[in-house]
């Protein structure tokens, strides 16, 4: 017969042995579950990554053509990170001068106008691979030199006038003169007039393009807008067959 302390030792050992058996069973089950999850991730990645690469290839071809149209060079590259999906990035590389290599778009290296050009050409390239009812671009031409603004505007009009492309709104306080328009373009000019004596309506008028809006009264204008400047015009360009 065992003494009391010996019985306690045996009971403790048996209890620990049972706990270890449970842990081994749980670990085996967890390992099987982990393998199933890893297999599922690999299967989804095998279908997803080639499709992503295909889209990036289509975008970079369009970006390269758009940059070539303005006498520069550009491309888009996918920075892969294995199964760390939140670390995947798309890098825009540009070359604005013949004596420099393609470089990643960077605020410390490129001017605001150069970054605006690259962003606009990238957005134009996205039209071929994304499906949206419309796009809004706000003051993207600010900071561009006149030559690049004219060329980018022409590319935007051409790409947004193709069949089955979404309507595009370009909001800007100014445009260079003598731009090329087509029948799909509609121009609306909105004037905010400072008025210290009255909060009466501000008038909006449309011009250019088929189906122009004509004169429209705009009511309930935010009083803050009335005091921005004595006269400020903001043009709104509408592109697409639905304009």
Q: Backbone phi, then psi, for 236, in 5-degree steps? A: -125, 120
Structure-token match 């982990």, residue found: 34
8 A C-beta contact, residue 169 and residue 186:
no
* Cα–Cα distances in angstroms (integers) from residue 154 to residues 84, 120, 218, in the given order: 39, 12, 30
DSSP-derived secondary structure for 87-130: G-EEEEEEE-STTS--EE--TTTS-HHHHHHHHHHHHHHHTTT-
The domain segmentation of the chain, as residue ranges, is: 38-130, 132-192+232-242
DSSP-derived secondary structure for 36-94: HHHHHHHHHHHHHHHHHHHHHHHHHHHHHHHHHHTT-EEEEEEE--TT-GGG-EEEEEE
**99-142, pLDDT tens digit by residue?**
999 999 999 999 988 999 999 999 889 887 778 888 888 888 87
Q: Give the whole-angstrom CA distance, residue 76 versus residue 92.
A: 5
Residue 12 neighbours by CB under 8 Å, 6+ apart: none
**14-53, pLDDT tens digit by residue?**
888 888 888 888 887 777 788 888 888 888 888 999 999 9
Please classify residue 168 by burial: count the beta carbons closer than 10 Å to its beta carbon, then call 0-12 exposed, 13-18 middle and 19+ buried.
buried
- The helix/strand/coil state of 15 is helix
> What is the structure's pLDDT at 1?
54
Structure-token match 């010996």, residue found: 6
Q: Backbone phi, then psi, for 117, in 5-degree steps? A: -60, -50
Tokens describing residue 195: 């008025």
8 A C-beta contact, residue 57 and residue 49:
no
Q: What is the mean pLDDT of residues 178-183?
A: 85
Instruction: Select the more confidently predicted residue: 186 or 232.
Output: 186
* Residues listed for the chain: 243
Does pTM surpass 0.85?
no
Q: The CATH number of 38-130 is which of 1.10.287.70, 3.40.50.970, 1.10.600.10, 3.40.50.300?
A: 3.40.50.300
């Amino acid at each position: 017969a065992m003494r009391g302390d010996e019985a306690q030792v045996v009971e403790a050992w048996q209890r620990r042995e049972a706990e270890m058996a449970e842990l081994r069973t749980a670990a085996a089950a967890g390992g099987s579950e982990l393998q199933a999850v890893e297999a599922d991730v690999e299967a989804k990645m095998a279908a997803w990554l080639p499709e992503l690469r295909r889209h990036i290839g289509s975008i970079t071809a369009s970006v390269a053509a758009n940059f070539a149209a303005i006498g520069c060079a550009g491309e888009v590259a996918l920075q892969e990170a294995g199964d760390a999906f939140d670390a995947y990035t798309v890098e825009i590389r540009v070359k604005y001068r013949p004596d420099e290599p393609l470089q990643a778009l960077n605020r410390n290296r490129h001017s605001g106008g150069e970054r605006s050009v690259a962003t606009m050409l990238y957005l134009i390239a996205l039209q071929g691979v994304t499906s949206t009812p419309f796009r809004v671009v706000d003051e993207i031409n600010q900071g561009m030199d006149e030559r690049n603004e004219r060329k980018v505007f022409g590319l935007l009009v051409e790409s947004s006038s193709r069949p089955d492309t979404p309507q595009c709104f370009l909001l800007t306080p100014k445009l260079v003169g003598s731009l090329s328009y087509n029948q799909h373009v509609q121009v609306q000019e909105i004037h905010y007039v400072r008025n210290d004596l009255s909060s009466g309506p501000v008038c909006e008028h449309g011009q250019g393009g088929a189906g122009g809006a004509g004169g429209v009264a705009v009511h309930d204008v935010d009083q803050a807008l009335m005091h921005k400047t004595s006269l400020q015009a903001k043009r709104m360009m509408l592109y697409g067959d639905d304009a």
